[in-house]
Amino acid sequence: MDATELRSALYGLEIFAGLTGEQLDWLVSVSEPRVLGDGDVLFRDGEEATGFHVLLSGGLVVTKVVDGREEVLTRHSTQEGGAVAEEHDGKPSAAHRFTGELPLLTEGSYVATAAASGPATTVVAYPKPVFFEMLTRCHGVAAVLLPVLAWRIKSSEVQARKRATVEALGTLAAGLAHELNNPAAAVARAAQELEPALERLTGTAYAWGAAATGAERSVLDRLAGELDKLPPPGTTDPLAQADAEEEIAEWAGAAGAEHPGLLGSGAADLGLDPDWLPARLEEVGDTALPAALDHLAALLEARSLAAELRAAGPRISQLVAATRDYANLDRAPEQRFAVTDGLENTLVVLRSKLAGITIVRAYDPDLPDLTGYPGELNQVWTNLVDNAAEAMEGAGVLTLRARAEGVCMVVEIADTGRGIPEDVLPRIFEPFYTTKDVGKGTGLGLHLSYRIVTQRHHGSIAARSRPGETRMVVRLPLAPAAAEH
């Protein structure tokens, strides 16, 4: 099988169907195809897990010796009917086409034996490091893999010695499937818009370079430096932001800019007043000013998209890493970090869901750093902000507070939504408890947040609610807890 045939075969699989051409090219370059004869063993029960395997043709039978008897746990087949008809109820179709992910995620050994079924079985192997890189590079893979992982966990009751790990991964897989939607969507949108944005930036750079004098270029360089140092706006009022955007765009259009709307939206997103840019561009002449404004607009657009990718990309990597950490909670190293960084990243990732909502930041100055697991706390902030946005249904005020209080850091996320009913409030942190419509919630988001805050960080999380005001209060100790024995 040559590279072209392999590329076509991989693209035809559900798990890789959403990949870009560049991602597919990378996947082909790291693939290790292997042809198995009937009965050839792919991996054995108890062996150290070394790779993730994708089935291209033929079939695999997965067996395990239980109480001295070899039992068939499942069959994977590329053929319609046949082995498929013999399968357990509810098996996802994608589950037939890959195997080996569970022991890799738990950093354990294979828990069964897989052997070829039929004379022409072709599999593609991806070594352990490549598998984890695949999850980070190819974000759509996790969306297919996680439901299959959850199904396999649920149907693995025969693996008694793995039960605790299986249940933990089952909980995490369902929660991650929900949480990955936000950063994955942010990455997809930003990546789609980045190419034309970079083309605009290149074009405006040439035009600005040709139109500007040396002194005028220095003015724009200083302005760009100021923009880099701007703090996030303390309050985001959608109406005030829209007025500022319109006023800046009108000024840019009158000055001759080709893309005044782009400049208006970029400047307003940074919280700039309408007079901020004109005051700093007074030394740019009328001839060069249109080129300066268009180049600045393209620069702000590219920086905004890059910020989204910086915030969402690591979040996906952290969520994937959390799948392994969840199975063995003592392995992830603690870090020193600023809690406001995670809150700000969450606002970037959920920006589309927060459209129309006023955002108020109330961070105390000189907040101390925390010691803990910032990637896991980001899951908490995502859950709480996402729930607040849903409760407000596109209109209201979201307030983020952070302050030191005694020996704790207190983070409050408050919204002006419909509130949580009094009879529901005591149960919101229970696993699988949800008041959302069928298919719109797993009932695991707040439970997972509770575990992260209380078990991982030895803190507390509480909810206070009445119609028109809900506050989620998270308390985290400033000093790490003593190691448990």
Q: What local confidence, expressed as pLDDT, does residue 331 receive?
A: 44
Q: How confident is the model at residue 328 (pLDDT cuts 50, 70, 90)?
A: very low
- Whether pLDDT at 420 is above 50: yes
Pick the more confident residue, 174 or 289.
289
Q: What local confidence, expressed as pLDDT, does residue 327 receive?
A: 40
Q: What local confidence, expressed as pLDDT, does residue 268 receive?
A: 86
Lowest mean pLDDT, pick from 20-34, 167-181, 286-300 = 167-181
Pick the more confident residue, 68 or 115.
115
The Cα-based distances of 319 to 94, 146, 323 in angstroms read 22, 12, 7
Pick the more confident residue, 289 or 311.
289
Q: What local confidence, expressed as pLDDT, does residue 67 receive?
A: 57
The distance in angstroms from the start CA to the end CA of the chain is 54
Quote the CA–CA distance of 278 and 248 in Å, as a whole number: 9
Q: Mean pLDDT in the chain?
A: 81
Domain regions of the chain by residue span: 3-158, 184-305, 333-477
Q: What local confidence, expressed as pLDDT, does residue 240 receive?
A: 82
**Whole-model pTM?**
0.39
Q: What local confidence, expressed as pLDDT, does residue 157 receive?
A: 39
Contact present, 407 and 478 (Cβ < 8 Å):
yes
Chain segment 332-386, per-residue pLDDT in tens: 467 888 999 888 878 876 777 888 899 999 999 989 999 998 878 888 898 899 8
Q: Which ranges constitute the DSSP H helices of 66-162?
A: 101-105, 128-137, 139-154
User: Which residues on neighbouring strands pair with residue 474, listed in sequence order?
Assistant: 411, 461
- Whether pLDDT at 441 is above 80: no
Q: What local confidence, expressed as pLDDT, does residue 293 receive?
A: 93
CATH number of 333-477: 3.30.565.10
Q: How confident is the model at residue 440 (pLDDT cuts 50, 70, 90)?
A: very low
Q: What local confidence, expressed as pLDDT, does residue 27 receive?
A: 94
Quote the CA–CA distance of 399 and 87 in Å, as a whole number: 50
Q: What local confidence, expressed as pLDDT, does residue 30 receive?
A: 94
- Whether pLDDT at 388 is above 50: yes
Pick the more confident residue, 363 or 160.
363
Helix axis angle, 128-137 to 289-327, nearest 10°: 140
- Whether pLDDT at 161 is above 80: no
Q: How confident is the model at residue 172 (pLDDT cuts 50, 70, 90)?
A: very low
Chain segment 70-104, per-residue pLDDT in tens: 777 788 888 755 444 344 456 788 888 999 888 88
Pick the more confident residue, 311 or 148.
148
DSSP string for 232-248: PPSEE-HHHHHHHHHHH
What is the side-by-side order of every strand in the sheet holding 51-57? 32-36, 121-127, 51-57, 98-99
Nearest to 415 by CA among 390, 382, 432, 437: 390
Q: What local confidence, expressed as pLDDT, does residue 186 receive?
A: 65
CATH number of 3-158: 2.60.120.10
Contact present, 26 and 137 (Cβ < 8 Å):
yes
CB-neighbour burial class of residue 426 (10 A; exposed 0-12, middle 13-18, buried 19+): exposed
What is the four-CA torsion angle of 188, 193, 196, 202, rounded to 10 degrees?
A: -100
Chain segment 244-258, per-residue pLDDT in tens: 899 999 999 999 999
Chain segment 444-465, per-residue pLDDT in tens: 578 778 888 998 899 999 999 8
- Whether pLDDT at 484 is above 80: no
Q: What local confidence, expressed as pLDDT, does residue 164 receive?
A: 32
